[in-house]
Structure 1
Amino acid sequence: MLGVLSAMLCCGAVSAQQHEVEMIPFGNMDQWIDRQIKESGIIGGATKNVYAIGPTATVTETKAYKNMGGSPWATSNVMARVAGITKTNTSVFPEKRGDGFCARMDTRMESVKVFGIVDITVLAAGSMFLGEVHEPIKGTKNPQKMLNSGIPFTKKPIAIQFDYKVKMSDREKRIRATGFSRITDVEGKDFPEVNLFLQKRWEDEKGNIYAKRVGTMVVRYYTTTDWHNNATYSIMYGDITGDPAYKAHMMRLQVEERYAVNSKGESVPIKEVAWGTEDDVPTHLLLQFTSSHGGAYIGSPGNSLWIDNVKLVY
């Protein structure tokens, strides 16, 4: 029995009994905004559904999206305007589940046809996260700079809890497709990932943003699986490099460069410079669900991650 218990603890699973469980706003995935955006005529002029997580609404204006109704969620569903051409990407979808909805994130190839000829093909992973996107997207360079990662947050939850389902692509290697260079293979399989980081941030007089990592939880999914309800993962606090559950390739400081908006209104990199202590109080919560773990433009078409009922456990 002790062996089972220690195995569970090592895997970061916790029992949510006798704990307070709090839904993240709009975390039940039942409310969606349907942005109906008309793309430019030169690329076909179709009207596309670009979904956002927020109070139920239909928006027919082709305008840059700002989080609505107090929703803390942003997604990889975006409107881009490059060289006067309006183009959209949708890789996160509301999907019926029971009496409500869940979110489905797909990794897929997105092609743009100019005058009916395939011109640009980009690999788009489905991703949703706490934060904002700076629309319209103006190019494919440095995609993280287009995101404001994380939300102000000062609590210290012991775990995150959500329902999930996974469909894995059968590709052994991943694809890199940025749209402008040739499509290449990338070693290693593609895994859906959930990552949560609690940061204690500060800003210097030049507007640089620094952070200590206070809390960490990262999980990847390696097999196709049906719905798991109330999956619960412990958040590890402080310097976790000596913890048996620490995986440097997923959890190290600055594991991926993220950006935030400083007090001058500029999008700047968050420089994660140190581990916090277990007593540090965070200033920001970063949480991301993604159908591909490898960053922008890298993944395996066919990967999907379904998520529902995202909660924090105290």
Structure 2
Amino acid sequence: MKKKVVLLAALMLAATSGVSAETKEKVPYGDFEQWITRTIKESAVIGGKSKTLYEIGPTQTITGNKAYTNLGGSPWATSNVYAKVAGVVKGSNAVFPEQRSGGNKCVKMSTIMEKVKALGIINMDVLVSGSIYWGAMVEPVSSTKNPYSKLDMNVKFTKRPKYLCFDYKVTVPANAQMIYSSGFGKKKVLKGKQNACEAFVLLQRRWEDADGNIYAKRVGTGRERYTKSTSGWVNGHRMRIYYGNIVGQPYYKDYMNLISSDRPYYARNSKGKLVPVQEVGWDSPLATPTHIIMMFSAGCGTAYEGTIGQTFYVDNVSFIYD
């Protein structure tokens, strides 16, 4: 009898030890309680209105047409942007602070249509999917060409988390169509295509050659897409981060593959130039990453494609380690 009791106690201790070994590390500003409010004055030719843009960082207000750089040690950038195209100033905002129950805030990312109209001069409809990511937006944006080249994703990261943990809620409009609208040409309905909200963490080991080109191998992959509305908040969701080459694994999805060379993310090299990060292969499952790409978005796929009204709410972002 004593042996059984001792064995049971040992098993319980082992189980408890396994749980207690797991640690949670909160992401800076990942509770989305603090926001920076920017006020941009748009050009008179498109109405001259004041536009409010939001950024994730220490609470403050910034007034004026000023390029934004991350403040207070916040790793977060957003798709909200101050643009100046051919001398015309325009603000775009699809990421907002949102109140949760209990007075807490979260981030709300929506897919919207930004309209830029001036009689006889400009008539543009640009689809924007609200996104937040680790890195920086290079402002003022001067064109709609190659939007990913305006995102600086040069964020160093050498840890190996097991999960990305967060609360989320998804709203997908019923019977809504996926469309493409870049501001040039007519809007197109993309029949048969399904848009999704998306969350991902890509861990890379990068290096730079003598010419300033940046290359990377994929160390870790966590990526999920959400195509249906949730019934409410999903709290404490864990997205697993898998290491090494995951192609062919039961959990593998095509969108978890290496980043395509025709749609790379960008980072500033040692010469100060924004260049594409060329992902050239899978790394060892035991490799140590040097950089991280992390993003939450109300849309997935090609820029200027999406479902208007699709909304992704996120809160309480953290990493979990063994």
TM-score, scaled to structure 1: 0.92
How far apart in 2 are the matches of 1:181 and 1:206? Answer: 37
What per-residue deviation string (whole Å, max 9, x for no partner) do you get for residues 96-149 of structure 1?
123321000000111012149871000010100000110000000010100012
TM-fit CA distance, 1:172? 5.5
- Paired with 1:16 and 1:274, the residues of 2 have a C-alpha distance of 34
Match of 1:144, SS? helix
The equivalent of 1:122 in structure 2 is 126
1:232 aligns with 2:238: yes
Instruction: Encode CA deviations 1:162-185: one digit per residue, 9 max, x unaligned.
Output: 000000022454100000121112
SS in 2 for 1:42: helix
Given candidates 242, 267, 271, the residue that maps to 2:248 is 242
Q: Which residue of 2 aligns with 1:199?
A: 204
Report the CA distance shift for 1:209/1:117 in structure 2 as closer, same or farther (over 3 A).
closer
CA contact (8 A) 1:193 1:221 kept: yes
Distance 1:66 1:287, change over 3 A: same
Is the contact made by 2:176 and 2:308 (CA closer than 8 Å) also made in structure 1?
A: no
Shift of 1:269: 0.6
Cα deviation, residue 194, structure 1: 0.6
Gaps of 5+ in 1: 1-14
User: What letter is aligned with 1:156?
Assistant: R
Q: Structure 1 CA distance, aligned partners of 2:21 and 2:113?
A: 45
- Shift of the 168–33 alpha-carbon distance from structure 1 to 2, 3 Å rule, reads same
For the residue of structure 2 that corresponds to 1:217, the secondary structure is: strand
Q: Is the 8 A contact 2:154 2:268 kept in 1?
A: no
Q: How many residues align?
A: 299
Show CA shifts across 1:35-90 (max 9, x none): 01111111111111100000000001210000111110001100000111110100
Asked if 1:208 is matched to 2:209, the reply is: no
Report if aligned partners of 2:167, 2:315 keep a CA contact under 8 Å in 1.
yes
Unaligned segments of structure 2, at least 5 residues: 1-17
Is contact 1:16–1:313 with CA below 8 Å preserved after alignment?
Answer: no
The one-letter amino acid paired with 1:162 is F
Number of the residue aligned with 1:252: 257
Report % sequence identity: 45
Instruction: List structure 1 segments (4+ residues) > 2 angstroms apart after TM superposition.
Output: 15-18, 115-118, 169-173
Asked if 1:84 corresponds to 2:87, the answer is yes
SS at match of 2:135: strand
Contact 1:131 1:150 in 2 (8 A): yes
Which stretch of structure 1 is more off in the superposition, 156-165 or 236-245? 236-245
CA drift of 1:259 comes to: 0.7
Residues in 2 aligned to 1:16 and 1:35: alpha-carbon distance in whole angstroms = 43
Name 1:113's counterpart in structure 2.
Answer: 117
Q: Does 1:274 align with 2:262?
A: no
Q: Distance in 1 between the 2:256 and 2:306 partners?
A: 20
**What is the CA deviation profile of residues 222-248 of structure 1, one whole-angstrom value per residue up to 9, with x for unaligned ones?**
211110111011100011113111112
Which residue is 2:271 aligned to? 264
Partner of 1:107: helix, strand, or coil? strand
- Cα pair 1:16 1:232 within 8 Å, conserved: no
Q: Find the structure with the greater CA-based Rg.
A: 2
**Match for 2:80: what amino acid?**
N
Compute the TM-score of the two structures, normalised by the length of structure 2: 0.90
Question: Pick from 168, 180, 184: which aligns with 1:180?
Answer: 184
Partner SS for 2:212:
coil
8 Å CA contact retained: 1:172, 1:189: no
Residue 55 of structure 1 pairs with residue 93 of structure 2: no
Q: Distance in 2 between matches of 1:140 and 1:104?
A: 23
Q: Secondary structure at the match of 1:21?
A: strand
Code of the residue aligned with 1:311 in structure 2: it is: S
